[in-house]
Amino acid sequence: MTNRNPLARQTPLHTGFGPRTTAKEALDGRDLTGKVAIVTGGYAGLGLEAVKALASAGATVIVPARTPAKAQAALSGIPGVELERLELMDPGSIDAFAERFLAGGRPLHILIHSAGIMATPPMRDSRGYESQLATNHLGHFQLAARLWPALKKAGGARIVSVSSRGHQLGGFDFEDPNFTARDYERWAAYAQSKTANALFAVAMDKRGERHGVRAFAAHPGTIITNLSRYMTEDELRGISALNERGERVLLTYDDEFKTIEEGAATLVWCAVHAQLDGKGGVYCENGDIAVLTSAPFTPGVYERAVNDEDAERLWTLSERLTGVPFVV
């Protein structure tokens, strides 16, 4: 059984991987022939790089997109990729996608929650839910719930929830998750959604372990992709991600600042590597389990993002907000 003490769980394995490891290197020679994966956001940025790596190892990869025609160009030429339609802020779209997948009778071995938005202006979905919470967490919660029969059918599956060091900017506000009583602050909303991504992995793994379904949260590092489209020029300069021509590009690389190929490595490592066999409910970065930390803007995960009590509280709230009971 998995140790439910965050201090014990969050113990690095000293895997030999690190910040310069690429997604394909994180495969470590694994043959994924016969495996089926779903990667949300799999047509751009980190998700696309994860799709390339999984497909190169023989997996069949389903990429759901809001507009599959637009995604087609990015995925053209990658073998074993199937395009589908999905809008994470639309509960009906999530249900329809899951129903189509389940109707095919295939097991689901890998589910990567890579799609996301960051630091957006105030926006809400049709239910009135704040957009970053709705997209980054609630949509993925509902997706995993609907796909649960296929995950169990795999006889060994992994769910990877893409979190972020941004969780350190703020915790989860259980009293006002949708900013109805407090002023909206876009980075607080992002931090809340990324905290939710990490807590989801804790609660999901607790439920999935006895069915052979393990869950992980992954921090990819800081990578300049379309996710940064709402960042201001001043914010980009603050992280050395704006060159003299005004182009959005990292000027230096280190343990946190990475290329897209390096950023996708921890996602892929969590999804397939044998070093994590028998483990789950952990927050990972740089191709390893992260340490607990309380210092801001440092490697590691805050205890509040892997806390079992808060994970259970979020699970209950997510079922209520989505109206989807996650029966395992």
Q: Which of 86, 76, 10, 32 is nearest to 268 (CA)?
A: 32
Distance CA 257, CA 246 (A): 19
Rounded Cα distance between 154 and 36, Å, is 9
The pLDDT of residue 221 is: 93
pLDDT in tens, 170-183: 999 999 999 999 99
Confidence of residue 232 (pLDDT cuts 50, 70, 90): confident
State yes or no: pLDDT of 149 exceeds 80: yes
190 is catalytic: yes
Residue type, 198: A
- Provide the sign of the torsion angle of the four alpha carbons 153, 205, 58, 54, taken in this order: positive
pTM for this model (two decimals) = 0.95
How much is the pLDDT for 321?
98
pLDDT in tens, 289-305: 999 999 999 999 999 99
Q: What is the largest CA-CA distance in the chain?
A: 54
CA of 76: how far to CAs of 43, 56, 84, in Å? Answer: 10, 14, 14
Mean pLDDT value across the chain: 94
Q: Which amino acid is at 302?
A: Y
pLDDT of 208-220, one tens digit each? 999 999 999 999 9
- Read off φ and ψ for residue 224, nearest 5 degrees: -90, 105
Summarised one tens digit per residue, pLDDT across range 240-283 is 777 778 777 777 888 998 999 999 999 999 999 999 999 999 99
d(CA 311, CA 309): 5
**Which residue out of 43, 129, 190, 283 is catalytically annotated?**
190
Per-residue model confidence (pLDDT) at position 4 = 65
Distance CA 273, CA 213 (A): 14
